Structures are given as C-alpha cells and as structure tokens.
Amino acid sequence: MIIEKTTIDRIKNYRTDYLNSLPEFQELFIEILVNSSDYYLLKSDNKEIGYAIVDMEGILIEYYLINRFINEGKEFFRQVKKDLSVTKVYCKSFDSILLSNCLLCSFPYSVLGLLYRDYDEPAIEKDPEINMERVGLSSVGLIQRQDDSIKVLFDTEQQLVEFITNENVFTFNKNDELIGCGMVIRTHLDWDYCDLGVWVHPSKRGNSYGSQILLCLREFAINNNMNPSCGCAIENTASKKAIEKSGFVSKYELINFKTK
C-alpha cells in the first residue's frame, strides 16, 4: 500500500461516504481536530482504497477503506500506524471499522468522553422565567469577562468571534441576572447535525440551570431543522448529570487507544 499526503478536498468524497456509513453522526470535538490535521490518501495496486487523518500530535482520528478492501484492512491499518507514526487513536465507539482494528491490535484503551445522540423525556420542566437571547459581536467583552471556566465553550477570542458570526451563541438570564451561556454549533456544514455547548455561571450552579439551557438549545436546534447532540468528558460528572437530566441518553463513548 502507498500512503500519499494530500488535501482535505482530495478526500472529500471518501469522507462523505465515511460519514454516511456511520450509524450516528460525527462528534464536533473530532471534526474540529480534522480541520487542523494532515490528510492521507491510501492506494493499493494504483487504486485508491481509502484515507486516513492524523492530527499534529500523531493521533489517528479517521481511518476509512472502501468496502471491497475491508477484508484486507488489518494489514493496511498496521501500515498506517507504522508509516504515519501514530501514537494514539481517538475512536468513536459507533465507528465499527476503526474500533475493530484497534481491538484486533489489542491496543490498551481508556474512555475519554460520553457521546449523547439519543433522547428521552427530560427529568425537569422548562422554566418559563429563563430568557434566551442571541448575542452579537458587542457581547464578546461580556462573555470574556466571565469566569475562566467559560473557556469550555471556546478556546480563543478569535474562535468566539467566529462562533458568534457564523453559528448560534446565546446568553441566558433569569430575573435580569446572567445564569449562563450556550452555543448551537453545526458539526459539519454539509449536514444538518449540531452540537450543544453549555456554561453556567459559578454562582448559579447546582440549580439545574445547565439542564434548562440544554432544553432551550435543543428546542432552538429542532425548530431550525438541525439534529442536536452533545458530549462531555468522562470525568465531568456535573456535565453528565446536567445533560442526562435534560433528557439526552448516551449509548456511545469516545475511546482513546494507545498504540505505543
């Protein structure tokens, strides 16, 4: 097999096939990594057979083979690991091909996060006194002045500006007091899936406001023809509680396989 470095445009059709093949849609955290990674076209006997995406730290985040080459995939996978100096694999548990290859290689693993794609009845009723307001660029300063924990929603000021400009960012108030912020971020521009992000003001935590914000964000997404999902780090018990209280159900995980 030949591994050829390429561009994301060159593998776009294969990525479309890959994303369509998954029983659930992409995780936003992985999609953000994709945008700053290296892309590789896989070839065998002068035929294109798939692709791999590896981030700057040597983490394999996508591996795809077209169907007629999957039976030979174990050896191809081992070559990708070796030739691209893969140190880890971030695998969504619903990505059966990548998961199978990692298990067949007996890589040790840990769970990084919980992925929420299903929904049941929420454990709370929506609070009608909470006011949801979409923010503009004039609110950048207000958001940045909050507790550092708000960085869970964005990494840099530039990213916050991009989210406000291109996506959906909201503040939430009750009795004229800020209780938190939320985001509805489209996971991929070519699909109608989105990720919900929540931050609750430190002084307002412990009052189910995170769950209330998620109820509002989910309703907004559905009313705007988007399919909402969310996730959290495995150790973030507060987020897990808030997400599940709002009605989301997790059947999947993001798994970290160590290859070395």
What's the pLDDT tens digit per position in 58-76?
Answer: 999 999 999 999 988 899 9
Identical fold between 2-107 and 117-252: yes
pLDDT in tens, 162-193: 999 999 999 999 999 999 999 999 999 999 99
List Cα–Cα distances, 76 to 28, 50, 148, in angstroms. 27, 10, 44
Round to whole Å and give the CA distance between 79 and 75: 6
Looking at the structure, give the CATH architecture of the domain made up of residues 2-107.
3-Layer(aba) Sandwich (3.40)
pLDDT of residue 113: 98
pLDDT over 90 (residue 155)? no
230-248: b or e for each residue (b if 16 or more CB lie within 10 Å)?
A: bbbeeeeeebbebbbbbbb
Model's pTM, two decimal places? 0.93
What's the fold here for domain 117-252?
Aminopeptidase (3.40.630)
Instruction: Give the bridge partners for 248, in sequence order.
Output: 119
Alpha helices in 51-137 (DSSP H): 73-83, 96-104
Give 3's pLDDT tier (boundaries 50, 70, 90): very high
- The structure tokens 């660029």 sit at 137
**Radius of gyration, alpha carbons of the chain:** 20
pLDDT in tens, 205-226: 999 999 999 999 999 999 999 9
- The residue extents of the domains of the chain are 2-107, 117-252
The phi-psi region of residue 255 (left if phi > 0; otherwise alpha if psi is between -120 and 50; otherwise beta) is beta
